[in-house]
Structure 1
Amino acid sequence: MTYPFIIPLDLELKFKTLEALLSPYPSFAVAYSGGVDSTFLAWYVQKVLGKRLHAFLVQSPFLGRRERERAQSLAREIGFSLETLFGDPIAVPSIRENSSLRCYFCKKESMTAIKERAHTLGYAAVLEGSHAGDSRSYRPGRRALKELHILSPLATAGFEKSEIREVSRLAGLSNWDLPSQSCLATRIPYGTAITSDLLSRIEEAESYLWEVGCRQVRVRIHENLARIEVTPEDFPLFMEKNTREKLLRRFKELNFAFVSLDLAGYRSGSGDKINP
């Protein structure tokens, strides 16, 4: 197998495992989000293995406009086909009610749609981009992947997030250092019903923080309080009087009565830790 970069010695076995997992299949559909993992997986399947590839992006109120447009731009940049499927998870009671199994029900819904469309188009297998570290955190959606026989080759081959970033950098993928993203529903505590209005307010609040210059952002909701998570390196932004006053005005416009900065900083899955 020919690679456009020299494989780091400590990753040779993982790449051999990845190749062995995927080589038997003639074609693939990939669940694509525009994130580092699914982008690398799509690139690897098409550019390295030379397999027929079709990527699917599920557009729904859970996916912010910023992420959707980035995913579409990356697909054009790399040069693989991307099809958008439209979903309405809020219309599904088991998702809208937002129990601790929301991710399972949501993943089951979206991956079923992708699998059915991929089958119609004649693709041999469906892939998604989970990495090895995902198995060490609360990911109820993994159960849905197993039930639907969706392949997670990066996780199976043992690739960690940091390793995927490094090989993406070596491959010249422009999003190799893109901050990790998750669906907007993860900002809402379990037990709080999900509405289009609430998702829209969260997206607008986070968009404002990106514009201010934050490098990693989550706005987590607790009734009428917005809890801002950013990296500690961005804390000084909130100490500037002008920035702080503008932020408070914007968040008040979005109907948040209280705004707080989480001094622990950004943590992936902190909503799960607060609401196990």
Structure 2
Amino acid sequence: MEPDARDRLLAVIADISPRVIACSGGIDSMLLATLASRQNAAATTVAHAISPAVPVDATLRLRDWAAREGWRLEIVVSGEFDSEDYLSNPVNRCYYCKSKLYDSLSRIGNTVGEGATVMSGANTDDLGEYRPGLHAAKEFSVRHPYIEAGVDKSTIRKIARELSLPFAEIPASPCLASRLYTGTRVTVQRLRAVEESEEMIRRLAGIEVVRCRIREDAMFIEVSAADRFRITQSLLHKVERAATRDGLSLRAVHLDAQPYRPGRAFVGAP
């Protein structure tokens, strides 16, 4: 990491005041909120959206850390499930979700101080990918301190380690809707099945990074090549029972023929 990476980041954050930070409970936004609040708590509001697409453990982790750090925390329901554009799960689904989120956070900004700016945890690695959520951010004048300071994901982890933050090593875990193949409708049942299945595999097989992706009426489990042997037939049966407990109809639960790859369910990006 460049010696002045953290200083550059803190300078960008200091330039944004007052600020509302969109915090998902992942390492990127958690570190950003921690730095901003420690720098100037009075100017910082942390906002977290609860939704069937947000993993429960992310919300619990954020609430616990917010209490320890004394954050001014606002919990919002961003309302993406009210949008048919979102539920139909097009390739730009994230645009509709982020539009709802940033609209809610902008309203919070109007209550915490004149000129309050919404901040996100997007980093420079995101610029090399198709990220429709960044288009929504632009429409709401959201600022991205990591991008402005030239900070990537590996640097975020290094800063978190230097500060001995307890979430420095948590694996990436995008929203649960990212587990549904493009065109597969977003439903609460499907998201709950994904969350429960992944939690079961982590607990019973000891696999840290796992994705349970749904394509129409089948679930495909993705793990690394090194972890494939841990997915036994017995475990597949247990996952299927857990995934269908709430009435979700699944034709089958498979161990994917290919090892885990980020973004595999994201089909048709330009």
Spell out the pairing of 1:178-257 with structure 2 (5 A cutoff).
178-212=170-204, 213-239=206-232, 242-251=234-243, 253=245, 255-257=249-251
Is the 8 Å Cα contact of residues 37 and 130 (structure 1) preserved in structure 2?
yes
Q: What do the CA deviations read for 1:169-195 (whole angstroms, capped 9, x no partner)?
A: 111110001010111111112222222
- Alignment partner of 1:121 out of 92, 101, 112: 112
Deviations 1:218-271 (A, max 9, x none): 1111122101112333222114x5444434544454532212222432222111
The answer to whether the aligner puts 1:40 opposite 2:40 as a matched pair is no
Equivalent residue number for residue 166 of structure 1: 158
TM-score by length of 1: 0.88
- Give percent identity, aligned residues only: 29
- Structure 1: gaps of 5 or more residues: 1-7
**Paired residue total:** 265
Distance between the aligned counterparts of 2:214 and 2:69, measured in 1? 36
1: CA distance between counterparts of 2:224 and 2:70?
Answer: 33
Task: Check whether the contact 1:29–1:55 (CA below 8 A) recurs between aligned residues.
Answer: yes
2:18 and 2:196 mapped to 1: Cα distance? 39
Partner of 1:3: none
Amino acid corresponding to residue 260 of structure 1 in structure 2: H
Which position in structure 2 is the counterpart of 1:271? 265
Mapped to 2, the partners of 1:244 and 1:192 lie a distance apart of 22
* Structure 1 range deviating more: 38-47 or 230-239: 230-239
Deviation at 1:11, TM superposition (A): 3.8
Cα separation, 2, equivalents of 1:119 and 1:49: 19
Matching of residue 139 in structure 1 with residue 131 in structure 2: yes
Contact 2:193 2:242 (8 Å CA) reproduced = no
* Contact 1:227–1:260 (CA under 8 A) maintained in structure 2: yes
Residue 70 of structure 1, aligned match among 49, 61, 78: 61
Q: Sort the Cα spacing of 1:55 and 1:228 in 2 relative to 1 into closer, same or farther, 3 A.
A: same
Q: Report how far residue 18 of structure 1 moved.
A: 2.2
Contact conserved, 1:27 with 1:52, CA < 8 A, in 2?
A: yes
Cα distance in 2 for partners of 1:245, 1:101 equals: 33
1:67 partner letter:
A
Q: Conserved in 2, the CA contact under 8 Å of 1:165 and 1:176?
A: yes
The answer to whether structure 1 residue 107 and structure 2 residue 98 are counterparts is yes
| Amino acid in structure 1 at the alignment position of 2:93 | R
1:114-145 CA-partner distances (Å, limit 9, x unpaired): 11112212163221101110111121100011
The superposition leaves residues 74-129 of structure 1 with CA deviations (integer Å, 9 ceiling, x where unpaired) of 22233322110013312211111211111011101111101111221216322110
Structure 1 159/263 Cα, relative in aligned 2: closer, same or farther at 3 Å? farther
Letter paired with 1:271: A
Provide Cα deviations, 1:138-179, integer angstroms capped at 9, x if missing partner: 211000111111110112211111110111011111000101
Using the TM superposition, name which of 22-31 and 104-113 deviates more. 22-31
Unpaired segments of 5 or more residues in structure 2?
Answer: none
- Residues 1:88 and 1:228: Cα distance change in structure 2 (over 3 Å): same
